[in-house]
Amino acid sequence: MDGQVPELVREDAARPDADWWRGAVIYQIYPRSFQDSDNDGIGDLAGITSRLPYIASLGVDAIWISPFFKSPMKDFGYDVSDYRDVDPMFGTLADFDALIAQSHDLGLKVMVDLVLSHTSDQHAWFQESRTSRDNAKTDWYVWADPRPDGTPPNNWLSIFGGPAWQWSVEREQYYLHNFLSSQPDLNFHNPDVVDALLDVTRFWLERGVDGFRLDTINFYFADKALRDNPALPPERRNANIAPSVNPYNHQEHLYSKNQPENIGFLRQFRAVLDEYPGAAAVGEIGDAQYGLKLLGEYTRGTDRVHMCYAFEFLATEALTAARVREVFDTVDAVAGDGWACWAFSNHDVARYATRWNLDERARRLHLLLLLSLRGSVCLYQGEELGLEEADIAFEDLQDPYGIEFWPRYKGRDGCRTPMVWTNSNLNGGFSDARPWLPVSPAHLAKSVAAQDEDMMSDLNFYRRALAWRKANPALVTGDMSKVKAKDGVVSFVRQCAGQRLFCAFNLSDAAATINLPEGAWTAIGRSLGTAEGGGGTGSPAHLGPWQAIIAEDRREEG
């Protein structure tokens, strides 16, 4: 099927209505590692365009492309030096225009990763801002005087380790950086900064993008008074955002992010999107304590962003039935009027097959669960191949985060290795040159070519599962009942006009039995390995280890 797009996908993937994003499945592309077209060892936009038919064949609705803007690449594109141009290693604006056109021809929406909270220190804005305290952009970034003893103005910490403040000899002041010291934070309290960023947003919308993934959406504003963050008690610490070895986990980040002014900016941002019918945005919320609460606040109503994702399902903690119920109990309490976008993997966390130590049965069950939850879905490149985390030697590391905390934390390179298209050469069909990260030998046997014609492969299971979700509207946009968890089984009902589905997933190694709720049920989805069963209210359904049952209520038939 590589390169061949079924007519069903062509017709269904592009939804003409403004709500196309609601329940959409979005495929994340990490451009450095997807496909190299010019054999320099780094993926590029032309490489992505050449593989778009493959992406369309999966049955996804949209692609999200991680940053490809001009950048010194200290954080691999998340440090932008020019928001309005493509970095030469990825190609040109003409290459991007060609990607947009081909995507739309295939029925795929295109979302680009917009990094607004900070820039590179090589950006022209910062280069001017740092020259003096009285230039035209003097307060475009968060600058502060030192304390009387010369130390930073407060106790804020960087996610990448150490203080969140860097000394500037030019201004004899500190500037804020929540990430690398080469990633200074913009000052969103300055309306000129906001206007400039909204102009950047319009620039890409005018080029035809269908929306944005907003990096670190809760980091836009810092407390204007620069108050110290309080300590976080050990019992409240977790490693959802930063590894446990990082002292960042020792603070409650009340003032360095999550500020109430953020809502006002999101309203301005949404107003710009609404100028372009069908444009949508998904925000990344990086917060270990308040992620779901912020998800509710940022997506409530119709004047903020359309959807957000938090890190609850990107955590190291295994996805037990009790954990799923706990997450959705919280969603019901603080984000019931919002819209989530769920993901199990992305470019910042270990691949979930490794993170949760899942075999093939468990991986497939997790996919069915992900596709059955209320919300939209993000899939990360290679996830459909069943790829596990690659083992990267220290001398091959590129990620500054991993280099800083090695060996207790190995960084993010293990999930960023090149996509494997074929097992016929050492680079997996990604490039004829030495790749920027080594291709994992273990990945070669799971290449697209190796799985494409095998109907029992992970790849074709993904294709069937995505087509099945699309064929059942209750799974795409339906309401979701209160989540239940018992004996390792998580269950709920999805319902929309004309369809009612009962979904149960045995997230354990032991067989389980669950009683069907009120209704007249017929099991569906058997081609996906779901359990047989059905019957009236209270009928038992027997689930093997790592098996689901999806049943449709057909009381209205006959």
pLDDT at 556: 63
β pairing state of 307-309 and 280-284:
parallel
**The two structure tokens encoding residue 300:** 């409530």
Q: Is residue 553 annotated as a catalytic residue, yes or no?
A: no
- At residue 557, the pLDDT reads 52
Closest of 489, 402, 393, 469 to residue 438, by C-alpha: 393
Name every residue whose Cβ is closer than 8 Å to that of residue 455 and which is 6 or more positions away in sequence.
Answer: none
Q: Report pLDDT digits (tens) over 335-354.
A: 999 999 999 999 999 999 99
What does the alpha-carbon distance between residue 2 and residue 139 come to, in Å, rounded to a whole number?
51
H-type alpha helices, 419-457: 441-444, 448-452
- State the average pLDDT over residues 257-275: 98
Of 19, 97, 105, 275, catalytic: 275
Which tokens sit at 555? 């009381």
Active site residue 312: no
The H or E element spanning position 521 is strand 521-524
Give the model's pLDDT for residue 353: 97
Is residue 448's pLDDT more than 90? yes
Q: What is the mean pLDDT of the chain?
A: 94
CA–CA gap between residue 200 and residue 80 (Å, rounded): 12
Q: What is the pLDDT of residue 246?
A: 86
Read off the pLDDT of residues 364-397 as tens digits, 9 standing for 90 and up: 999 999 999 999 999 999 999 999 999 999 999 9
521 φ, ψ (degrees, to nearest 5):
-100, 140
Residue 269: count other Cβ atoms within 10 Å of its Cβ. 25
Catalytic residue among 36, 87, 215, 452: 215
Q: Decide if pLDDT at 102 tops 60.
A: yes
Cα 495 from Cα 477, distance rounded (Å) = 8
CA separation for the pair 502, 550 (Å, rounded): 6
Q: Which two tokens stand for residue 98?
A: 């060609």
What is the reported pTM? 0.95
Query: Taking 90 as the threshold, does the pLDDT of residue 46 lie above it?
Result: yes
Asked if the model's pLDDT at residue 265 lies above 50, the reply is yes
Q: In the prediction, which pLDDT does 11 show?
A: 39
Q: What is the 3-state secondary structure (H, E, C) of 161-226?
A: CCECEEEECCCCEEEECCCCCCCCEECCCCHHHHHHHHHHHHHHHHCCCCEEEECCHHHCCCCCCC
Question: At residue 520, does pLDDT exceed 80?
Answer: yes
Q: Which domains does the chain have, with CATH numbers?
A: 7-117+191-471 (3.20.20.80), 478-553 (2.60.40.1180)
Q: Quote the radius of gyration of the chain (alpha carbons, Å).
A: 23
Predicted confidence (pLDDT) at residue 220 exceeds the cutoff of 50: yes
Q: Bridge partners of 231?
A: 251
User: Residue 187: exposed, middle, or buried by beta-carbon count in 10 A (0-12, 13-18, 19+)?
Assistant: buried
Confidence check: pLDDT of 240 > 80 = no
The answer to whether the CB of 342 falls within 8 A of the CB of 313 is yes
492 vs 480: CA distance, rounded Å: 7
- Strands 109-114 and 484-486 turn out to be unpaired
| Range of lowest pLDDT (112-121, 141-150, 319-328, 408-417) | 408-417
pLDDT band, residue 167 (cuts 50/70/90): very high
- Where are the alpha helices (H) located in 185-339, listed in sequence order? 191-206, 262-273, 291-299, 321-334
Whole-angstrom distance, CA of residue 293 vs CA of residue 213: 19
Q: Is residue 407 over pLDDT 50? A: yes
Half-sphere exposure of 557 (CA within 13 A, CB side): 10
Q: What does the pLDDT look like over 478-488, one tens digit per residue?
A: 999 999 999 99
Tokens of 356: 């949760």
Confidence of residue 514 (pLDDT cuts 50, 70, 90): very high
